[in-house]
Structure formats: structure tokens, C-alpha cells
Structure 1
Amino acid sequence: MIHVAIIGSGPAGYYTAEAAQKAFGDTARIDIIDRLPTPFGLIRSGVAPDHQSLKAVSRRYEKTALTEEVRFVGNIAIGADGVSIEELRGMYDAVILATGAPHDRRLGIAGEELTGALGSAAFVGWYNGHPDHAGLQPPLGHDTAVIIGNGNVAIDCARILAKTPEELSSSDIAAHAADALAGTHIRNIHILGRRGPHQVSFTPKELGEMGRLARAASVADAAAFPAPHEDDTLDPGQRKVVGFLREFAAAKADKPVTVSFDFFTRPVGIEGESAVTGIEVERTRLTRDGRAEGTGETRVIPCGLVISAIGYRTSPIADVPYDERAGRFANVDGRIAPGLYCVGWARRGPTGTIGTNKPDGYAIAELLSEDLISSGKAGRAALDELIAARALEPVQFTDWQKIDAAEIARARVGAPREKFTAIDEMMQAAKA
């Protein structure tokens, strides 16, 4: 019997479990361990609450989770409060880190510690009801918010800030966030990008939604665009993205809320004594090799909220080599050390979509097929013994199904669920 432990129950974890199950069949036992009582990682706490169709992929993971070979072990921390990596390596033939990248990259500018300067991981976690961020109180009393970044996470943050309560009524946004956003004073949202329209990382679907908001108009400066014929050099998806941006540049700001795409703009410093009062930005231009360089021309955007959406970093784990510069585990094609692997964002950094994790998981399963032979380790039996000895409270997938049912039952009218945002609430539902 081959025993595999996967740390993290998000898309990377479940795709890897699915692939390992297919590779080894009933000769493998695979435990998916997560520090939260709830599975599915970013599907639950990262995908925007108004994008319910994307969350449907969890049904595929559920099929994997309910097989005999795969087991979900939730509410088990890795580290001092739970089980160490070294202990797991002594129990399992392979330990695979699928912990994602839950921490924001720092801007590296003055003022980012001020109240009102947030990372997108915290802000997204707040409106999605993640236990780590449910207590956040984003300042929504100023009329202006600034979002730094030109990817889909920046779009998600702007869209959630701009939507009406009615537009969010069919989502699973956390109740505390829905209540706070219903009283927001924000009327101007700036999305800053260091480079131009041709260099954005938006996808057509997400950007197209910004042109269909009930109370918000998306605008851009037509002077920031290259000549129209230069769009022909782009791939079809990027041409569509730039087409939407050109539509925004030709539109009028005729709605109560304005979302402004500010290209060739980079943050220099966040202003304020204890809380954010503004952000100083510098005009940029492209060098011949496509990098953004400052021009020395600066201005200040008065605002009360700054959200940084410039990327994420994986959490370091004791006894696991870490690449500080890349913000992920040090690895070669997913191999960290004998019997220790990483997958998904923990392997390659925060790139790609949910679906990108599928081939990544199958690639790791191929490595396992090359590397592993049964070593006689006890696997889940040893883990269960350690959990009992330390009086930990594991959550199984059937326990999660009770949490799931309770959240659905308590949903407000029109919404798919009302999430529990505190772990003790989840545990009460799981053990009911």
C-alpha cells in the first residue's frame, strides 16, 4: 500500500488526489489535510461570491473525496498546534504541499502599514467570509478607493465595491460584508496599472462584466492607448480585452459610481498619519524592452482605502526549503526532497487559473509513480493515533457535508448559502 498526504484541500490538492488515485488505484490511501474544517480552498474563499458558476467545480472534488481511497482530514494545523511536516514524512510515503499562496506581496512603499491599506487576500477573504479575515473592517466612508494591479483580482475587488445590494443578492457574499457595502460612500474607484492597455492581465469575461454594472460606469483615458492597428499584434483574447477597454475610453461617466482604469501609473507612497488619506502616484512610460519606468511626474489621489492586488506568496513551513525571492517552496519540477513534493501555487507561484492546477496535479502523480515504492509506513493509521494522542478534533468529509447543509439552510432569500465565518460555529455544525 502507498500512503500519500496532501496538505491543502484547494484545487491543487484535489486534482493531485484525483490523479494519484488514478495512478495507483486501490493500492493507495490518500489523506487530504487542511487547517480549516471546510474544504476547497480558494473555490470557497477566493472565487468572487457573484461568480457561482466557477464554484461548481467543487462537485468534481466531492466525487474524489467520497471514494474509499481518499479522505479529507480538516481542522488539523501543520506546525506547532497540530502535526509537523517531519512527523508526516515519517508516516507517509509521500507528502505533497498544496498550500497555495495565501499572503499578499508587499508593495514596498511608505505607508502600506496604515489603517485602510489592505492586501487583496485580506479584502477578498473579508467579503468571502474567511475566518482569518472576517473581522476586517475596510474603511468605506471616503468617496474614493484605489486598487493597485491589472489582473482579475483587481477587477473582482472593484466589482464588489461597485455593485448594488440587489446585484449581490444572489451571491454568497458574507453577511457582514454585504451589510457594510450597502452603506458604502465610495463613488470613485481607481484601478492603477504600471503599464498600458496592451499589458493588462484581465480576462475578457471579467473585464466585460465591468461594462454591465447597474450603478457604475467604467472609463479610461483614450490617450493611454496605442494606435488601433497595433491591436492586430495581440492574441484574440487580449484583443477582446483591449476592445472592452477602448469602449470604456469612448464612454461617458454617466452613473453614480465611476471605475477609472488609470494606465501608466504606479504607486510611490501612501499618505496619512494613522489612516490612509491619499496615495501619491507617478506617471510611467514603457522602455524598449517593455518595462515601466518613472517619468518623475507625480500627483496625489485623495482616498480612504487602498487595496494592493499585485500577487501572492506561499506561507513558509518549518523544515521545508523556501525560495524567498519567488515566494514559494524551493523545488525542481515539484520535487523538494525525497518523499516531499509541492504542487499548484506552492510549486510555481500564483499564476494560471483554477484549471491550470489539473495538469499540475497529474504531473506530480507521474513523479510519484516514478519515485514511490511501498515502504511499510502506517499512513493514516499513524496519523489517527497522533491526532488522538494530542486530543485534536479532525473534521471528515461527512462532517463538512453537515456544515454545508447548515449554511444552505441559513441562507438569506435568493442566496445559495450563508457561510459560517468562525471556526467554532463550523465545528458546532459539523458535530451536530
Structure 2
Amino acid sequence: MLRVAVVGSGPSGVYTAQALVAQDRVPDVRVHVLDRLPCPYGLVRYGVAPDHEKIKSLQNSLRTVLEHERVTFLGNVEVGGGGIPPERLGELYDAVVYCVGAATDRALAVPGENLPGSCSATEFVSWYSAHPDAAAAGFALRARSVVVIGAGNVAVDVARILARGARELRPTDVPPGALGALAGSRVHEIHMAGRRGPSQARFTTKELRELGGLPQARVVVDEAELARDPAYADPSDPSARVPALSSPPNAPPLTAAARRNVEVLRGWAAGGGGAGTGGHPLRTIHLRFFLRPVELLERDGRVAGVRFARTVPDGSGGVRDAGTYEDIPAQLVLRAIGYRGVPLPGLPFDPVRGTVPHLAGRVLRDGVPSPGEYVAGWIKRGPTGVIGSNRSCAKETVASLLDDVPLLAGRPSAPDPVAALRAWGLRPVEWDGWLSIERAEAALGRSLGRERAKIPDWAGLLSAARSGGRDRR
């Protein structure tokens, strides 16, 4: 029997477990999927916006893997930090695959970034997704104007949730506290700003178009600002090139996705913006480009706005400052400029890339593969790709692990890793404990006249897990 621990129950961890039990090179593989949280699914549960039900339905396929007879879910098990050290975990299993993702956000590194009212989009997403680590105070949403810095799908998600009314979000699993705050929101203006042009934006066309269909919001774009992008002139032309932004001089044509994005923005510019569907928009979303944040402005000890440097294409694949500035007033600033991996005590770490050094998924210690230690997902390759990208990433790592099986044969492992985890002082939440949480969230939703509502705090989640799940030491 080959016992493997997979640390992390998001898509990369679950796809790793799936690849292990689906292969036939080693017939008897048992996989324990460990997670610091008592709930599975990682960013599918705590990162996908609540109004994106189709993407959230991916939980159903992940669930099938976690219910496999040779897969065991063990929540509430922290590795590193105050939990079990990686070196000790390695003594319990024949191999350990770390799929811990990119746990923090990138900083702006500008003056004023730490002022009250300046937060990461990760914090905001965690709050409306009911992540138990989210700040207890939450977001009061008393701001009239919000600036979202970034031009990717997370920035679009944040802008969309801010622009939606509580009635639109009531059918979702948004926790009661967040739903109440959104119902009382005073937000009127939402500015989403990227430092480059529309053809360089990282959001998908589907996400972009959703902004134009919000019942109580309208989208405003500035055609003169968009036109600074060389690709804006005629994005429908397959030969459209962007040498000023893409360099070298013989730049490739726009990708189909970039061309669609620019075409949507051209349509909004020609028609006066995305008008929404409700007739009387309560909020306005301003999509801004070629703006680089240089300072967060302060008034009375809080954020009062963002000072942006105007940028223009530099002819070398990026942008340069144009020498002019623009201040946008805001009482709340949310940065959405990417995720970043953090060191896991006991594992090597590349601080530049924010990843664990590896060779085809094998952890490298001083440049040499460490038998029994592996990585997959964002901690392996950085925060790139879509959810499906984790499948091929996991398969590569599992192939390396299986190739190493002869090297793993002599490693010590515990006859009962779960008992050893309990002996270490941990209290794992097993699958029936998670099912108990699901039942409790359904009951909470019914009590509020909704289908489901998430439990937003550690105490509530663990209490629900213990009420119907096993709690053995």
C-alpha cells in the first residue's frame, strides 16, 4: 500500500488525488486530502463569486473524488505554523504533495497603502464568501466612491458584487452579515483602473459583459482613453497588431479573447456605455485604463482617494509614465493585482517567484530532488492559468511521484496516520463532519428564507462539524 498525503483540498489538491487513484501503475494507493479549513474545495468555495453558480457547481465533480473509497478528507489539519510540521508529516506518509496555492495578495508598494480603508481584494472576497479567517468587523460599505485597482477577473468580480443589489444576491449563499451590509451599501461610484490598455486586460469577455447586464448599474468608458491602445483602432481585423504594447516589432495578432474584450468596450463607447437592464441605475462603474497608482491619499487618518500617474505605451512591451497625474476620490480602495505564494515552514521557497523550487513537481532541496516531497498547483507554477490548468499540472506531479516509488519503499510511514495526527493534538474534521456543516448551512438558509447561507466563523463551522461528524482524538 502506498499512502499519500495531499495538503490542500482545492482543485489542484483534488485533481492530484484523482490522478493517484485513477492510475494503474501502483494498484493500492490510499490518499488523505488534508486542509487547514474544516471545509473542502479551496477557492471554488471561498474564491468564486457567489453569483457564479455554474462555476461553483464544479464542487460536484470535486465531491465525487473526495467520496472515492480510497480517498479520505481530513479538514481542520494545519501543516506548518501552529499545526504539524512538514518533516513530521513526511514521517506519517510515503509521500506528501503540497497543493497549498498562493495564500496572499501582491502589494502595491505605494505610500498610504496601509491607511484604514485600503484593503486587498482577497480580504473583500473572503468576507462575502464567508471565509472563517475574514475580518470579524467586515465591510460597512459606507463609502460613496470605491476604487478597485486591477484589470483581471478578481477586479471585475469585486466591482460586480459592489454594484449588485442585495435582492440579486439573496438567492446565493452569501453569509447574512455580508448580505445585510450590501443591502445597506452607500456605494454610488465604482472605478476599476488598470495600468495598461484594454487589449492587455486579464479579464475574460464573459466577466466583462456581465457588468453591462447588471440591473441597477451602468458602465462608463472613455473612448479617448481607450484609443491610446494601438489595438483599439480595429480589433476585429485579424491582422490587428499591437507593436507599441507587445514588442518585438513583428508582434503577433491580438488573441481572440483580447479582440473580443476590445470589441465589447468599443460597443459601449459608441453607445454611451453599458446601460444595465433596470432602467434607473443606482451605481456607475467606470472602467479606466492607462492609470498607475502612485499614492493613496489621506484625510482624517483614512483613505480619501488614489493618485494615479497617466501611462502610455512605451514601444517595448509595457507602459511609461506620461508625466501627468489624476486623483480619483475614494473612501474605499481594493487592490486586485494578483496572488502570491507564501513560505511553508520546513519547505524551501523561492521568494522571487513565490513558489517552491521543483523539478516536474519534485521538491528541490539545494537543487536536488527530495524523495517523498512534491508540489502541484499555484505553489508549484505560480498563480497562472484557469481552474482546469490544475489538472495537467497535477498529472505531471503524480507521474513524477509514481516514477519515484522505488525510492519511497524504504521510507518510514505510520500504520494509522489519522491516529498519529490526533496524537499530535489535531482534531481532524472528516467527511461526515463536512456533511454536517452542509446540513447546518442549509438549515441556516431556510431560517432566513433562503436555500442556503454559509457559516462565516470558525466556531460555527467546528460546532456544526462536531454536532453530526466524528470527533475522535
Give CA deviations for 1:120-140 in whole Å, capped at 9, x if unaligned. 111100110001115143352
Give CA deviations for 1:363-389 in whole Å, capped at 9, x if unaligned. 111111211235265656442232232
Give the corresponding residue for 1:431.
466
SS of equivalent to 1:338:
strand
SS of equivalent to 1:214:
coil
Residue correspondence of structure 1 range 86-165 to structure 2 within 5 A: 86-165=87-166
Match of 1:275 among 279, 284, 302: 302
Is residue 266 of structure 1 aligned with residue 301 of structure 2?
A: no
Give the corresponding residue for 2:10.
10
Is residue 356 of structure 1 aligned with residue 381 of structure 2?
A: no
Give the corresponding residue for 2:398.
365
Letter in 1 for 2:234: H
SS of equivalent to 2:264:
helix
Is residue 239 of structure 1 aligned with residue 259 of structure 2?
A: yes
Letter in 2 for 1:305: L
Compared CA separation, residues 248 and 94, structure 1 to 2 (3 A): same
Please identify, of 422-431 and 328-337, the stretch whose mean Cα deviation from structure 2 is larger.
Answer: 328-337
SS of equivalent to 1:122:
helix
Match of 1:389 among 423, 432, 438: 423
Question: Partners in 2 of 1:230 and 1:36 — Cα distance?
Answer: 45
Give CA deviations for 1:6-25 in whole Å, capped at 9, x if unaligned. 11000000001000111256
Letter in 2 for 1:249: A
Question: Partners in 2 of 1:416 and 1:276 — Cα distance?
Answer: 37
Question: Partners in 2 of 1:80 and 1:355 — Cα distance?
Answer: 30
Letter in 1 for 2:422: A
Question: Partners in 1 of 2:142 and 2:268 — Cα distance?
Answer: 27
Q: CA deviation at 1:164?
A: 1.0
Question: Partners in 2 of 1:5 and 1:86 — Cα distance?
Answer: 13
Compared CA separation, residues 277 and 316, structure 1 to 2 (3 A): same
Is residue 287 of structure 1 aligned with residue 314 of structure 2?
A: yes
Letter in 1 for 2:352: R
Is residue 229 of structure 1 aligned with residue 234 of structure 2?
A: yes
Structure of higher RCO (CA pairs closer than 8 Å, 6+ residues apart)? 1
Structure 1 gaps, min length 5? none
Structure 2 gaps, min length 5? 241-253, 276-280, 364-369, 468-473
Letter in 2 for 1:5: A
Letter in 2 for 1:326: R
Give yes or no for contact 1:271–1:280 (8 Å, CA) kept in 2.
yes
Give CA deviations for 1:204-225 in whole Å, capped at 9, x if unaligned. 1111101100111111111123
Question: Partners in 2 of 1:263 and 1:124 — Cα distance?
Answer: 23
Give the corresponding residue for 1:180.
181
TM-score relative to the length of structure 2: 0.87
TM-score relative to the length of structure 1: 0.95
Give yes or no for contact 1:31–1:380 (8 Å, CA) kept in 2.
no
Q: CA deviation at 1:177?
A: 1.1
Letter in 1 for 2:339: Y
Q: CA deviation at 1:58?
A: 1.3
Give yes or no for contact 2:49–2:129 (8 Å, CA) kept in 1.
yes
SS of equivalent to 2:438:
helix
Letter in 2 for 1:123: F
Please identify, of 16-25 and 410-419, the stretch whose mean Cα deviation from structure 2 is larger.
Answer: 410-419
Q: CA deviation at 1:328?
A: 1.9
Give CA deviations for 1:143-181 in whole Å, capped at 9, x if unaligned. 110001110000000000000112112211121111111
Give yes or no for contact 2:172–2:453 (8 Å, CA) kept in 1.
no
Match of 1:417 among 438, 448, 452: 452
Give yes or no for contact 2:117–2:302 (8 Å, CA) kept in 1.
yes
Question: Partners in 1 of 2:414 and 2:122 — Cα distance?
Answer: 32
Residue correspondence of structure 1 range 204-219 to structure 2 within 5 A: 204-219=205-220
Is residue 21 of structure 1 aligned with residue 41 of structure 2?
A: no
Give yes or no for contact 2:374–2:401 (8 Å, CA) kept in 1.
no
Please identify, of 186-195 and 405-414, the stretch whose mean Cα deviation from structure 2 is larger.
Answer: 405-414
Give yes or no for contact 1:102–1:121 (8 Å, CA) kept in 2.
no
Give the corresponding residue for 2:338.
311
Give yes or no for contact 2:150–2:194 (8 Å, CA) kept in 1.
yes
Question: Partners in 2 of 1:379 and 1:425 — Cα distance?
Answer: 34
Question: Partners in 2 of 1:380 and 1:9 — Cα distance?
Answer: 22
Question: Partners in 1 of 2:140 and 2:440 — Cα distance?
Answer: 31
Give CA deviations for 1:226-270 in whole Å, capped at 9, x if unaligned. 453244232322222112112222343663311111110010011
Give yes or no for contact 2:235–2:262 (8 Å, CA) kept in 1.
no
Letter in 2 for 1:396: E
Give the corresponding residue for 1:405.
439
Compared CA separation, residues 144 and 155, structure 1 to 2 (3 A): same
SS of equivalent to 1:323:
coil
